[in-house]
Amino acid sequence: MSLLKVDEIDVFYGDAQALWGVSFEVEGGTVTSIVGANGAGKTTIMKTISGLLIPKSGRILFKDRDITREEPYKRVEMGIAHVPEGRQLFPRLTVMENLRAAAYTKRARSKFQDTLEELFNLFPILRERKNQLAGTLSGGEQQMLAIARGLVLRPEILMLDEPSLGLAPKLVIMTLDLIRKLKNQGYTILLVEQNVYQALKLSDKAYVLETGKIVKQGTGSELLKDEDVKRAYLGLT
């Protein structure tokens, strides 16, 4: 059964349409990726699922409940965590203060100490840096903190928007390996990523988005072999 179902959504910014009839599903315990070029509408999809944008038509179902017009904070309480593009940390707060600030739902507050220990085991560097200002961390450490802040919410689905953006190649691989580790621990992940090759390598299911429309779908391995995908996104012919 699908944990999340996006059904034929049309989304606009004012009079400008950004998404046309977008539909996809995310199964529990899987990594599902939405890949495509910059400006294709990937971030718009994430904002719509988290409630920052409301579709003009279509609907969004979470665990078979229609959440299309639910407030963003209610979606978080239901178990939808969104790690936005650009990390968006509080740079003048410490690592610990950033993590504590994220624990604002009842579920997150009640389990915060247990979650914190799990996160420090997953990200040992954050334990070392817990009293350091977030703005003084390296790019890779900031990305770890951004993901950890999403995990503080103990989400049923973790939405990651361009987690490798702006990172050095070595840190890109490290970040995507971390996503694989989270999947192996049972997390459900919706991933938006410009690094198409790496995203497809770790995805159970993937969708290709072009100018606001889903144009292809399949398993990650199927799309890696697709001639159109190889030509358009992987630099292969």
Q: What is the pLDDT of residues 93-147, one digit of tens each?
A: 999 999 999 998 888 888 899 999 999 998 999 999 999 999 999 888 898 899 9
The number of distinct structural domains making up the chain is 1
Q: What is the pLDDT of residue 222?
A: 96
User: CB neighbours of 229 closer than 8 A, spacing ≥ 6?
Assistant: 196, 200, 208, 216, 223
Q: What is the pLDDT of residue 225?
A: 94
DSSP state of 133: B
CATH of the domain at 184: 3.40.50.300
Q: What is the pLDDT of residue 87?
A: 73
Residue percentage of the chain with pLDDT more than 90: 72
Q: What is the pLDDT of residues 18-27, one digit of tens each?
A: 999 999 999 9
pLDDT at position 236 over 70: no
CA distance 112 to 106: 10
pLDDT at position 16 over 80: yes
pLDDT at position 237 over 80: no
Q: Is 15 in a helix, a strand, or coil? A: coil
CA distance 198 to 170: 12
User: CB neighbours of 217 closer than 8 A, spacing ≥ 6?
Assistant: 24, 205, 206, 207, 208, 223
Q: Is 237 in a helix, a strand, or coil? A: coil
pLDDT at position 29 over 70: yes
Cβ atoms within 10 Å of 76's Cβ, excluding its own: 20
User: CB neighbours of 191 closer than 8 A, spacing ≥ 6?
Assistant: 31, 32, 33, 34, 160, 163, 179, 199, 203
Q: What is the pLDDT of residue 160?
A: 95
Cβ atoms within 10 Å of 68's Cβ, excluding its own: 18
* pLDDT, the chain, mean: 92
- Domain span at residue 28 reads 2-233
DSSP 37-102: -TTSSHHHHHHHHHTSS--SEEEEEETTEE-TT--HHHHHHHTEEEE-TT----TTSBHHHHHHHH
What mean pLDDT is predicted for residues 49-65?
Answer: 97
Handedness of CA 31, 220, 6, 83 (dihedral sign): positive
pLDDT at position 33 over 60: yes
